[in-house]
A = this chain, B = another copy of it.
Amino acid sequence: MLYIVGVGPGDPELITLKAVKALERCERVAGWRSVLLRLGLSEEKAVELTYRNQEERLRELAELSASRDVCIAVHGDPTVSDWELLDRVRELGVPFEVINGVSSLNLALARAGLDMAHVVFITQHARSPQSLSDAALPGRSLVVFPPLDAKGRSELWEELKRFSQCKILLMERLSLPGERVVELKEREHLLNATDLSVVVVKC
């Protein structure tokens, strides 16, 4: 079987028992470099996915999944901003199971004192980044996974200017050593934030 496993937001204790068991059981565990580094897998077990090799590696995993347990590990929860990966897995046409995890989205809500029922989630970790203006709903705040590139972050900074009546928080390394939650007031803070940052527009 092929498992898509959410390994949680970063804190090694914020992984589920089910994810731990799946990662132990799987003969191969594929993932982006940053995920594999966190999991500390043996060289024989780890399969590094890159933008260039992912199609081939996923096809190999799908074939192997007919006779073996194999995993694809993702940060957080697979249903939060991994639909491009899940679409690619669906296209392979093999059965798979999602093992949900704790997302950094939920940690951001806890830190900001917000509830999922009072926010709209937007991700810019995708080929077609979602815009803030498409997600405006009365009475709801926004939680944004900012772009990973400088150009995208500059554009997000421009979009954020429309929300001057709201409190804008930048959260970095949630649940990891060096976690930091600050009010986002300067463009450079957003540009220099880590890949694992979250922006909360609290209105």
**What residues of chain A have their CB less than 8 Å away from a CB belonging to chain B?**
6, 8-9, 11-18, 20-21, 77-83, 86, 90, 98, 100-103, 105-107, 109-110, 113-118, 120-123, 126, 130, 134-135, 137-139
From known contacts A123-B117, A135-B137, infer whether A14 and B100 are also in contact, taking CB-CB under 8 Å: yes
List 19 A-B pairs, Cβ < 8 Å: A9-B100, A13-B16, A13-B17, A13-B18, A14-B16, A16-B102, A17-B20, A79-B106, A79-B109, A79-B110, A81-B116, A86-B113, A100-B106, A116-B121, A117-B126, A120-B120, A120-B137, A134-B137, A137-B137
Q: Please, how many angstroms separate the alpha-carbon atoms of A139 and B130 in the complex?
A: 11
Among B17, B98, B103, the residue within 8 A (CB) of A110 is B98
Stoichiometry, as copies per complex, reads 2
Q: Who on chain B is nearest to A111 by CB?
A: B98
B130 touches A134 (CB 8 A): no
Q: Please, how many angstroms separate the alpha-carbon atoms of A110 and B90 in the complex?
A: 12
Q: Please, how many angstroms separate the alpha-carbon atoms of A70 and B203 in the complex?
A: 32
Q: Who on chain B is nearest to A125 by CB?
A: B117
Give me the 3 closest cross-chain CB pairs, A-B, nearest first: A13-B18, A79-B109, A83-B115
What's the minimum C-beta distance from A17 to chain B, rounded to whole angstroms? 4
Q: Who on chain B is nearest to A11 by CB?
A: B18
Q: Who on chain B is nearest to A145 by CB?
A: B117
Among B18, B78, B86, B134, the residue within 8 A (CB) of A14 is B18
